[in-house]
Chains A and B, each alone.
Chain A
Amino acid sequence: MLATNKTTPFLFGYRLYVLAFFIFLAAPLISAGAFAFNDSLFPALPWQGFTLDWFFSDTEPKLGMFHDRRLLQGLYYSFVIAIFVAALSVFVGTTNAFLFVRGDFPAKNFFYIMMVVPLVIPGVILGISILVLASDTANFVENKFDLELEFLRPGMLLVVLGQFSFIATITSLVITARLKKFDETMEEAAFNLGASRARVLRTITLPFLRPAMFAAGIVAFLVSFENFNTTLFLVGSEAPLTITMYDRMAKVGSTPVLNAVSFFLMVGSGLLALLSILIQRDKNA
């Protein structure tokens, strides 16, 4: 298993294996996307010809995704939730980065582990534990003070909090890694030139962190958008897209409109992921 330039039979076989792996990787994604363009009422073979109806048609039975009110609504809720989750996670991720890279306090290692832990708790459990605490609190307030705290019932806020609870770990790790590479002599030089603390932060440190914050934000957005396990237990009437799609799949059975949504999401998240990679690469080089 060594890098050699000679093409041995072993290396040839190895390459075939790698090729087979990438076919395995691509196959379900291609099939999820391709049937969006099949002019048939079912996402299955045989191929009936190319159509864009599953995106744009406005009549039943081939109601396209851009005319399907419930799917569009799900898309909208997913978008709003993901924006809030990304903003919150980047904010807390940045303060955490400063806390753990610059800060000096007792039991720092312990707290660092605490920061990583949410990533290794199954999403279902994060969901139910937050649901339980929120409902207990709401019930308690209702019984004691006769006050109905609607926001603690399953709904948008709980979904945002549930997703934030583990996505904050991801953004913290990304931004911490970047801050560790920062050369502190740059800050010292600025202080020597008479800059204030706030000014140094604004003109030197934060611009250095910006690519990482941006990339972390995109990652948070994508993870939030595709999350299912945590959301499942916290969702109220404003169901995000993954939940809407799952309901459709489980209850109505799949039609190619779900393929159209899949295709749309794959292209969208592919572009966003590419953007985050480009941003990070440019500034790191």
Chain B
Amino acid sequence: MRYVKLSAENFSPFFEALKELGKIYGPVKRNSTYTFVQVDNVKELSLDYTRTILPPKKFFVKPRDKLFRLKKENWEDIKDGESFVLFGVHSCDIHGLKILDKVYLGDPPDPYYKSRRENAFIVGISCMPDEYCFCKSLGTDFAMDGFDLFLHELPDGWLVRVGSVKGHEVVWENQELFEEVTEEDLKHFKEFEEKRAKAFKRSLNKEGLADILDLAFNSQVWKKYAEKCLGCGNCTLVCPTCRCYEVCDNWIRAYEAVRERRYDSCFMPTHGLVAGGHNFRPTRLDRFRHRYYCKSYFDPSAGFNCVGCGRCDEFCPARIEHVRVLEEVREGLL
């Protein structure tokens, strides 16, 4: 990895330089929450944000996504090939994208997702946890790859990790903005990380978790929470690793239709419904449990399907807490 330093006064020129790569999307405060939107000026950015409602997956798997346009009986691909910059992505969300990559870039790759991934320039940014974060216990609190540049906050600027060839190119072409990293900077970097590690309030015990959950299939805890759950599907919409979609064809003119996919949620009763009325997950309990199984599925090569971002907790209207449910299921079994 290459490390360089970006001083505080060069931050704005650096941001301007990134515009070469395309539109820049970054975290902006909207009322009491944050969202990734197009940003023209560094002043609009909220770099100390906690989490956005929708994770950056919305740029790769769009809430509504047009795939094909039907013209004269033939489908034409709808391509969106513009390069763009995602500025200020937290480590957990970078891990979230890596989990999506496993699915969408796996054979056969999804061409829409793939081109957006290739067109994106990702600038990570260090963060401080709030009461919902538990990424540290999942090992997703630090990104080793999956970004082009990663900015770590220093008292007088940023320590920048260069994570890709594209990242190198940007640093190379804007050499005048960067300096060598000093011993002092490294000391500050280390201090920041230590302070951050101590700031986590929530943690998930993942020891044997996958097996314990499987054994607890009939646990009363699932039932208790399924009764509390409103089945609204918020937790799946905001999750950086949830990616179920539904497909619809819509006629827009007499001779023109579009095929569109949009977010679906395993909390919807139709998710497992097939023709003839058979439903493979008929009850709220089946659906509630399924989500926890899906998020806690453990892939030896990729880890869990949850990155501990805390979104599902923050945005659950029934105040159901992910870690709490899992801990109770564990306690109920042991």
- Decide whether A and B assemble into one complex: no
Q: Which residues of B are interface residues toward A (Cβ below 8 A)?
A: none
